[in-house]
A and B are shown apart, each in its own frame.
Chain A
Amino acid sequence: MENLLNLNVVWFVLIGVLLTGYAILDGFDLGVGAVHLFNKSDEHRRITLNAIGPVWDGNEVWLVTGGGALFAAFPIVYASVFSGFYTAFMLLLFVLIFRAVAIEFRSKRESRLWRKTWDVLFSFSSILIALIMGIAIGNIIQGLPVDANHEIRISTLSLFNPYALLVGITTVALFMMHGSIYLVLKTEGELQQNLRGRVNNAVIFFVICYAATTMATLIYFPHMAQPFKDHPSLFLLGLLNMLAVANIPREIHHGRELRAFLSSAASIAALMGLFAVGLFPNFVISSTDPNYSLNIYNAASSQKTLQIMLWVAILGMPFVLSYTISIYWVFRGKVKLNNMSY
């Protein structure tokens, strides 16, 4: 653990924090979208949509800012990965656009066909966003053909390989679980009863996916496990993850939805932690030649910029956290529909 206190490491961690914030926050509203069609009545769909109404846009800002921070701190990673994933990321953009407008447009007309169309678009785009992000993570875990000029040349189809799809489906399952718990927290009465049952199914679905992904990773990509062999104390992270997941059905059973939600958030944070530890100090491991891998040193901005950015983060993050906390505080409690609702 020599020399780990430098700006490059700090920025690796900070980007990890931003993307984890994204996964926890947008994760639940993507999950709400993924399970949207399980709710049958228009009223229930409106309630669940309004449960994320005031917050989904702010949640997505974590992605925009995480992306911006990656651009600023590690521009070579940003450029190589985004251009390497060109078609996949274009598809991601399209579904991000569809999802945003589906949320906004659905309520604008009473017509059944109108609402049904946007419901389907909202749900499918939410699933696809989670899937594509998971597929991207899956490919990062496998390593990518980075060449000497930092370029990644890979066909779009080969991005959709079985392992990457498995990670993609696991991400969908994770967000479904996370979103279902959020909905239990925000609803009451009959709807909440339906949702409680679904949380348990979602937990089971996720645990199966998670077990399969973990096995596949250990068997086919053992380099992800190397840091845990070198530093056994890191195994606590894996343990924490399992405990957090196991705690969810327990809390739901006792009617402590907030604690269930926090457990699920902790499990997302632990998963992101496992991913980051497995990669560190690389962002992208080159499958062509390990020397071409993009890491926190050869892909970084100058020390001066990392320093400036650290000041930006130190000045900005307290504001970001206080906005986030106050918005969730203002909109706490069960959803009530009124004339300004979706």
Chain B
Amino acid sequence: MDTVFLARLQFAFTIAFHYIFPPLSIGLGVILVMMEFLYIKTKNKMYERMTKFWVRIFALTFAIGVASGIVMEFEFGTNWATYSRYVGDVFGSALAAEGIFAFFLESGFLAILLFGWDKVKPGMHFFATIMVSLGSMMSAVWIVVANSWQQTPAGYHIVGEGLSARAEITDFWAMVFNPSSIDRLTHTISGGWLAGAFMVMSVSAYYLIKNRHTDIAKSSFKIGLGLAVFASIFQLMTGHSSASGVARNQPAKLAAFEAHYDSLAAGDLYLFGWVDENNKVVNYGVKIPGMLSLLVYCDTKTPLRGLNSFDPADLPPVNFAFQTYHLMVAIGFALIGLSLLGLFLLWRKKLFTANWYLKLMIFAVLLPQIANQIGWFSAEVGRQPWIVYGLLRTSDAVSKNVEANQILFSLILFGIIYLLLFILFIFLLDQKIKHGPDEEEHVVNESTARA
């Protein structure tokens, strides 16, 4: 196995594992803000117990997110040294800004959120919760900006040639607001909201079915549902806007998403299918003719640039991009459906008695997770063979002084450690969920004991 393959596999594996957690932090963060707001406003102790329960779940996801997050920063240097030298001037700035503007904010106020309940006044604690939530979204801002620059580079020029060639910033704001930043940022954050909302609904549905902690479960479910309805529909909008951006800025990627080969034909939209890359056809597919052209150009007849017009050396793996993209979109619609169904049941006052729906919602927690993962896979694999679109090839970007067996060794260790971590995470999450929120007497006792 060569170093490029192993380095890609290691990066994909470590970032995919990491990416289980930040979306949960982003989503749960917003939900914590809503819950604590209700507590501050109503002074109802039930909301306090509810907030504290979800803070514990949040803390667990946040901890593993932090622990696994530092890995990628290191990997840019360890595995992708040529890339780092090439883009450090641009990419490094966004990463450093993330540290200064987001991580300090997040970690500082997290201390108050977790340990500060009786150290600061309730208003201050609420402020800390808002800041942690903002901080988790701010870190998404900078890392998505950095990644979007890889997709649609802007505000730079290339200096030097050969081994010493590199990108340097010419316009910081053009770099930050590169053509895909905003679309991809809103899409990513909204994906985080969905992950958090479905997590809250899943746990609440479990309690409702088991008939435990029903007051907190009902209230949590409604808060989660509110966010899910908003975020799932918002996600459709950002997704559409994002795809239109891909059509403008990364035509090869969009063509791969829909396996559109012929530049003279209008773009069709597949509901599903299997791409035969050798014969350049989609098998077992169902498509809406002209729909892709309609979405991109608002006209079903306009021809769309196809894969045939690109140098084969510049194309991503088509079927992989196609499948991940379509599964993501399908899940996106499923999330809208589940959210609206929940809203309908709530309106008919059947939400908390419809056991079939609640059972469905217990497992639906996996859907946003899958969509977030494969959405990133389609975005990143769709950019191949480029690490920086049109500028630097992935195969040229690896460290030249690192050998395959070194990467294999670290990859195996990451595999073992992350498997262990994941088992522990599920185990502890399960324990926390089974334990549930503290009972009322318990909280009263502790608060008098403390006073």
> Does the CB pair A101–B169 fall under 8 Å?
no
26 CB < 8 A contacts A-B: A54-B111, A58-B107, A63-B70, A65-B96, A68-B95, A68-B97, A71-B73, A72-B92, A75-B166, A78-B77, A78-B84, A79-B77, A80-B81, A82-B84, A83-B81, A86-B406, A90-B409, A97-B68, A151-B401, A153-B401, A305-B93, A319-B101, A320-B100, A324-B108, A327-B112, A331-B111
Within 8 A of B (CB), among A73-94: 73-76, 78-87, 89-90, 92-94
- Most chain A C-beta atoms within 10 Å of own C-beta, residue among B110, B115, B166, B428: B115
Is B265 at the interface (CB under 8 A from chain A)? no
A-side contacts of B112, CB under 8 Å:
54, 327, 330
- B63-102 vs A, CB cutoff 8 Å, 1 = contact: the mask equals 1101110110110111111101101111111011111110
- Most chain A C-beta atoms within 10 Å of own C-beta, residue among B68, B108, B112, B116: B108
Q: A68-B96, A97-B68, A320-B104 are in contact. Are A301 and B89 (CB under 8 A)?
A: yes
**Bound CA span A93–B417, Å:** 11
Is A341 at the interface (CB under 8 A from chain B)? yes
**Bound CA span A333–B60, Å:** 26
Among residues of B, the one whose C-beta sits closest to the C-beta of A99 is B67
> Does the CB pair A65–B108 fall under 8 Å?
no
Among residues of B, the one whose C-beta sits closest to the C-beta of A156 is B406
B-side contacts of A109, CB under 8 Å:
431
Q: A75-B89, A104-B60 are in contact. Are A331 and B100 (CB under 8 A)?
A: no
**Bound CA span A290–B175, Å:** 36
Can you add 16 more A-B contacts, CB < 8 Å, to A65-B96, A65-B104, A75-B92?
Answer: A53-B111, A57-B107, A58-B110, A60-B70, A68-B96, A79-B399, A83-B78, A89-B78, A90-B413, A93-B74, A100-B66, A109-B431, A309-B93, A309-B96, A330-B116, A340-B115
> Does the CB pair A86–B402 fall under 8 Å?
yes
> Does the CB pair B59–A104 fall under 8 Å?
yes
Which residue of A65, A86, A100, A309 is within 8 Å of B103 (Cβ)?
A65
CB distance from B45 to the nearest CB of A (A): 15
Which residue of B63, B73, B116, B409 is within 8 Å of A67 (Cβ)?
B73
> Does the CB pair A82–B170 fall under 8 Å?
no
B-side contacts of A150, CB under 8 Å:
85
Among residues of B, the one whose C-beta sits closest to the C-beta of A100 is B67
> Does the CB pair B168–A305 fall under 8 Å?
yes
**Bound CA span A65–B63, Å:** 18
A-side contacts of B80, CB under 8 Å:
79
> Does the CB pair B96–A72 fall under 8 Å?
yes
> Does the CB pair A64–B115 fall under 8 Å?
no
Name the prevailing secondary structure of the A interface residues. Answer: helix
Interface residue tally on B, bucketed by range: 35 or more
Which residue of B119, B169, B428 is within 8 Å of A304 (Cβ)?
B169
B-side contacts of A74, CB under 8 Å:
88
> Does the CB pair B96–A302 fall under 8 Å?
no
Within 8 A of B (CB), among A283-310: 301-302, 304-305, 308-309
**Bound CA span A79–B77, Å:** 4
Is A6 at the interface (CB under 8 A from chain B)? no
- B418-446 vs A, CB cutoff 8 Å, 1 = contact: the mask equals 00010010001001100000100000001
Total count of chain A residues near the partner, CB < 8 A:
73
**Bound CA span A26–B54, Å:** 28
**Bound CA span A150–B166, Å:** 14
Is B117 at the interface (CB under 8 A from chain A)? yes
**Bound CA span A150–B79, Å:** 15
Hey, which bits of chain A sit against chain B, CB under 8 A? 50, 53-55, 57-58, 60-61, 63-65, 67-69, 71-76, 78-87, 89-90, 92-94, 96-98, 100-101, 103-105, 108-109, 149-153, 156, 301-302, 304-305, 308-309, 312-313, 316-317, 319-320, 323-324, 326-327, 330-331, 338-341
**Bound CA span A83–B77, Å:** 6
**Bound CA span A75–B165, Å:** 13
**Bound CA span A105–B428, Å:** 8
> Does the CB pair A65–B100 fall under 8 Å?
yes
B-side contacts of A73, CB under 8 Å:
92, 96
A-side contacts of B170, CB under 8 Å:
304
